[in-house]
Structure 1
Amino acid sequence: MNATHTPPASSAKYAWAGGLRAFAAVMLSLAGLLGIFRGIMAIAEDEVFVTTPDYVFKFDLTGWGWIHLCLGIVALLVSFGLFQAAAWARYTGIGIAALVIIANFLSLPYYPWWSVIMIVMSGIVIWALCVAPADDADVSGRPTGGRQL
């Protein structure tokens, strides 16, 4: 009898899916924290931001601060749901990451390099949440609870 045990191919798939979900949760929590910090800086009218008087989507810097602060808080909360493998968090995570992309696109003139970084980071979150198979599972290969995508 063979003493070595080879795990079934499906457990490798489950481990990969769980790892991708955890990656998305970490990236979304980082995007949320950074959005919160950016929002606080803008509300305090820090001198880090560039002023562009002739921008089509012109908002007051404080207005942008509140938008980024609220999106950051929601993104951070949704990332906690992703860590728990909640199906609602997967759908909401995709939506919040899309809103973060839109908000950062619209605020490109105020903080260009940071906006591009946040757009890329949120795009990676969307990719990770969309690519993981529907039957997510934890690393041990056991299916997670709840309804999955």
Structure 2
Amino acid sequence: MTAMPSETRRGPGEPGSGEGLSDASLLAGAVMMLSGPLSILMGASGIAGDNLFAASQYAYRFDLTAWGWIHLVVGLALVVAGMGVVTDKNWGRGAGAAAAGISLITQFMFVPYYPVWAIPVMTLDLLIIFALTKIHVGTNGDR
């Protein structure tokens, strides 16, 4: 009788493979660790009722405190997911892609309030999503 291995074999660059992170995943984790605190600061500014943000009639118009809480929660999710990616946790890549996707949507809805901020952050979110969902192909064509 043959002994069964206790662990499933993992490919290079996959979470938990022990071979470290891919460059794209490490970049995505680092960008999330930058974008998250910036969203948290923006959320704190909105909660404090800062007069930095202004928008006229707009379909997604929330009161500024609500936007502040939304950005605060999304920022915390980005930081936690970024830590998961950087520490090569199994859940990190999925949580990071989901958090970046939610951030992308909220930033899109926030464009009329502060476009100079929202558009670059949307670009960072797209970079994060691309880096975390990129399919790693081995040298022999196996996934």
In the aligned structure 2, how far is the partner of 1:98 from the partner of 1:77?
15
Equivalent residue, structure 2, for 1:38: 42
For residue 87 of structure 1, report the CA deviation from its aligned partner.
2.1
TM-score by length of 2: 0.79
Q: Secondary structure at the match of 1:114?
A: helix
SS at match of 1:51: coil
**How many Å apart are 1:29 and its aligned residue?**
1.1
Offset at residue 134 of structure 1 (A): 7.1
Offset of residue 46 of structure 1: 1.1
RMSD: 2.4
1:108 and 2:102 correspond = no
With over 3 angstroms needed to count, the CA separation of the structure-2 counterparts of 1:48 and 1:134, relative to structure 1, is: farther
Q: 1:99 matched to which residue of 2? A: 102
CA distance in 2, matches of 1:131, 1:31: 20
> 1:33, 1:17 → 2: CA distance?
22
Counterpart residue identity of residue 92, structure 2: A
Instruction: Write the deviation string for residues 49-98 of structure 1: whole angstroms up to 9, x where unpaired.
Output: 1232x101110011000000000011101111111111211001101000
Q: Name which of 68, 73, 78 aligns with 1:75.
A: 78
Name which structure has the greater RCO, CA cutoff 8 Å, separation 6+. Answer: 1
Find runs of 4+ consecutive structure 1 residues off by over 4 angstroms: 14-17
| Equivalent position SS for 2:22 | helix
**After the TM superposition, which residues 1-149 of structure 1 pair with which residues of structure 2 at under 5 Å, given as runs?**
18-52=22-56, 54-131=57-134, 133=136
What SS does structure 1 have at the residue aligned with 2:52?
coil
| Cα shift at 1:114 | 0.4
Instruction: Kindly indicate whether the alpha-carbon contact (under 8 Å) linking 1:20 and 1:129 is maintained by their aligned counterparts in 2.
Output: yes
Q: Distance in 1 between matches of 2:86 and 2:114?
A: 30
**Identity of matched residues, %:** 30
Unaligned stretches of 5+ in structure 2?
Answer: 1-11
Higher share of residues assigned helix: 1
Q: Normalising to structure 1: TM-score of the pair?
A: 0.76
User: How far does residue 99 in structure 1 lie from its aligned partner after superposition?
Assistant: 0.2
